[in-house]
């Protein structure tokens, strides 16, 4: 009998279940949700949510530090979770399980507590071309601190680490080898056993980033024989803000603490050297995320049976979803996969010829479909592939074939939608009006009036796309590094001018249609204002009046905040120079 039943599994997730409203029958407008952003974070089953609430209602006390009954109960639950993690990844000792905020902090601990104290100038750190920034930047920092050199393992055309190049990259000079078990963009299960064995053969220390693997694979760190393995709970149906650093005991014992404070000490004195606690507490300074740890235990209890099931029903269903989605996308002419072949897990990355990734992702949001666009915290990989970014569909076992079919239908509809391609003569209500340059207040009022008469995100999104057609294109000569808006997901440029009357005007452009529309809206608010007026203008209030805060809040990663910050910076700098 299979332990995994797709329908029963899906019903455990309240956020998914509450939005499950006959998508096909409803023709797909925004009351529903299809969540295809699982590589960023997974949804949480009810038992995980309940366990966190149960701790605060019934067990709330600090751990390890009191003799009263409540603290004893909290400590027991806290340490039981550590034991469950030990079993989950088959670690040799419970002392090898260190609680962290997540995989990112786990990597930083190894980089700063071990690598920083052992690397010498000329030593080499080997990474992979497809690494997440979390497994690149900490090593860049420690390389700069120590004089070590970073080497990069290349990829095959299918997106795997090219083991044929290992002997050329991993040498006697290599001291650390660190790579992802599964790429968060390519969805490939890397040949980490071979990489770990090669690292061991030259005496190098190995670290494996398992953030994308733990929800899909059964992990045995002793069989892998890696020195360190890191992962986060929130990628495997658990809570955010809690993760694990597994390390071999012999290495952890020789490492200095990463942070100082309570719990990680044995003795503290003003006259003698401070001594540190034993493992694992040496690396757990301060009050830990107790509720998160206890909820993490529930997530492991929830997931482990599916990964351990000999029928492999859980993994087979995930692969069924992957194959169905990949094959359906492959039939769309504009789709171009960023590497060759079907991925090993439900992470599918692609671009669409003739369309900006951000435009497509935000258009899909109208249909209640959540996917990711951008560089996915893997900018070196984007450079390696010679692309600015891509779209990523990442699937989980609570997704369905029907959701994939709806996504494909919606994507085809978007590609046929004239709002992405209409000519300037056919666009928005404002398209027949000359852009106001001497009375920006009127232009802003017109935009407010336009959106006050536009109901629903789908209609507002369409108006933004159409407004983008009214924005004059910036001369290519002006699209340079000086005018580039840093922090915008798409490429966007901004130039300013300053009048004798002390008023600023701005011209801008972007390679994304949605950003061009936002630029029309933003420039209407800031053009022909003084530096003081620009700095005092409340962009949040403005977007609230337009009814755009829910989907286009300046705090979201759509570049809006970066645009506003660039405008204010240009105004400040020009004001100082005049």
Which residue numbers are catalytic? Answer: 377
What are the φ/ψ torsions at residue 509 (nearest 5 degrees)? -160, 165
Those residues with Cβ within 8 angstroms of residue 193's Cβ, 6 or more apart along the chain or in another chain: 224
DSSP strand E in 109-204: where?
124-128, 149-153, 174-180
- Of all residues in the chain, what percent are helix, strand and coil, respectively (each to 5)? 45, 15, 40
- The token duo for 85 is 């993690």
Measure the CA angle with vertex 170, ends 255 and 246; round to 5°: 35
- The token duo for 136 is 């690149």
Cβ-contact 308, 4 below 8 angstroms: no
End-to-end alpha carbon distance in the chain = 78
User: Which residue in 385, 389, 326 sits closest to 352, CA to CA?
Assistant: 389
Centroid of chain to Cα 422: 33
DSSP symbols for 474-486: PPGGG-STTTB-T
CA distance 380 to 155: 12
- The token duo for 389 is 């970014």
- CA dihedral sign, ordered 305, 307, 311, 314: positive
Centroid of chain to Cα 104: 12
Q: Is 499 exposed, middle or buried (0-12, 13-18, 19+ CB in 10 A)?
A: exposed
Cβ-contact 153, 129 below 8 angstroms: yes
Q: Is 266 exposed, middle or buried (0-12, 13-18, 19+ CB in 10 A)?
A: exposed
Centroid of chain to Cα 112: 23
Those residues with Cβ within 8 angstroms of residue 446's Cβ, 6 or more apart along the chain or in another chain: 430, 433, 524
CA distance 165 to 273: 47
3-state per-residue secondary structure call for 4-36:
CCHHHHHCCCHHHHHCCCCCCCCCCCCCCCEEC
Those residues with Cβ within 8 angstroms of residue 343's Cβ, 6 or more apart along the chain or in another chain: 159, 186, 187, 188, 322, 326
Radius of gyration over every alpha carbon of the chain, rounded to an integer in angstroms: 26
Say how many residues make up the chain.
578
């Amino acid at each position: 009998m299979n332990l995994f039943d797709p329908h029963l599994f899906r019903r455990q997730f309240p956020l998914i279940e509450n939005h499950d409203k006959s998508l096909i029958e409803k023709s797909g407008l925004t009351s529903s949700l299809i969540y295809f952003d699982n590589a960023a974070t997974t949804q949480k089953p009810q038992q995980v949510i309940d366990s966190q609430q149960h701790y605060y209602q019934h067990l709330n006390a600090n751990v390890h530090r009191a003799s009263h009954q409540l603290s004893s109960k909290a400590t027991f639950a806290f340490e039981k979770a550590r034991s469950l993690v030990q079993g989950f990844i088959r670690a040799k000792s419970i002392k090898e399980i260190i609680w962290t905020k997540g995989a990112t902090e786990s990597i930083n601990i190894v980089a700063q507590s071990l690598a920083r104290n052992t690397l010498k100038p000329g030593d080499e750190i080997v990474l992979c071309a497809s690494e997440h920034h979390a497994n690149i930047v900490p090593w860049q920092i420690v390389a700069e601190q120590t004089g070590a050199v970073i080497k990069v393992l290349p990829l095959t055309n299918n997106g795997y680490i090219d083991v044929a190049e290992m002997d050329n990259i991993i040498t006697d000079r290599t001291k650390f080898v660190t790579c992802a078990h599964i790429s968060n963009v390519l969805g490939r299960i890397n040949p980490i056993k071979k990489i770990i064995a090669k690292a061991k053969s030259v005496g190098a220390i190995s670290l494996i980033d398992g953030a994308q693997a733990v929800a899909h694979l059964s992990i045995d760190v002793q069989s892998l024989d890696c020195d360190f393995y890191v992962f986060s709970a929130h990628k495997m149906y658990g809570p955010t803000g809690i993760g694990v650093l597994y390390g071999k005991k012999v290495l952890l014992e020789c490492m200095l603490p990463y942070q100082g404070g309570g719990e990680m000490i044995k003795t503290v004195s003003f006259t003698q050297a401070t001594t540190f606690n034993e493992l694992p507490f040496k690396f757990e300074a301060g009050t830990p995320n107790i509720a998160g740890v206890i909820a993490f235990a529930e997530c492991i209890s929830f997931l482990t049976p599916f990964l351990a099931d000999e029928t492999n029903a859980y993994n087979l269903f995930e692969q069924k979803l992957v194959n169905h989605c990949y094959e359906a996308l492959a039939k769309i002419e504009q789709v171009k996969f960023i590497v060759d072949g079907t991925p090993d897990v439900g992470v599918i990355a692609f671009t669409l010829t003739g369309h900006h990734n951000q435009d497509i992702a935000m258009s899909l949001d109208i249909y209640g479909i959540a996917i990711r666009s951008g560089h996915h915290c893997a900018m070196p990989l984007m450079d390696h592939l010679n692309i600015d970014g891509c779209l990523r569909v990442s699937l989980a076992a609570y997704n369905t074939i029907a959701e994939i079919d709806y996504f494909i239908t919606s994507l085809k509809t978007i590609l046929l939608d004239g709002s992405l391609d209409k000519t300037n003569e056919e666009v928005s209500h404002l398209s027949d009006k000359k852009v106001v340059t001497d009375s920006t207040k009127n232009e802003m009022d017109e935009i407010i009036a336009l959106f006050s008469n536009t109901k629903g995100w789908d209609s507002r999104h369409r108006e933004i796309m159409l407004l983008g057609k009214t924005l004059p294109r910036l001369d290519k000569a002006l699209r340079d590094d000086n005018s580039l808006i840093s922090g915008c997901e798409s490429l966007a440029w901004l130039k300013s001018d300053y009048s004798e009357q002390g008023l600023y005007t701005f011209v801008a452009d972007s390679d994304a249609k949605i950003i061009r529309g936002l630029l029309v809206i933003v420039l209407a608010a800031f053009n022909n204002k003084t530096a003081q007026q620009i700095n005092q203008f409340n962009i949040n209030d403005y977007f609230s009046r337009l009814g755009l805060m829910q989907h286009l809040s300046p705090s979201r990663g759509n570049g809006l905040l970066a645009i506003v910050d660039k405008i204010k910076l240009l105004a400040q700098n020009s004001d100082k120079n005049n």
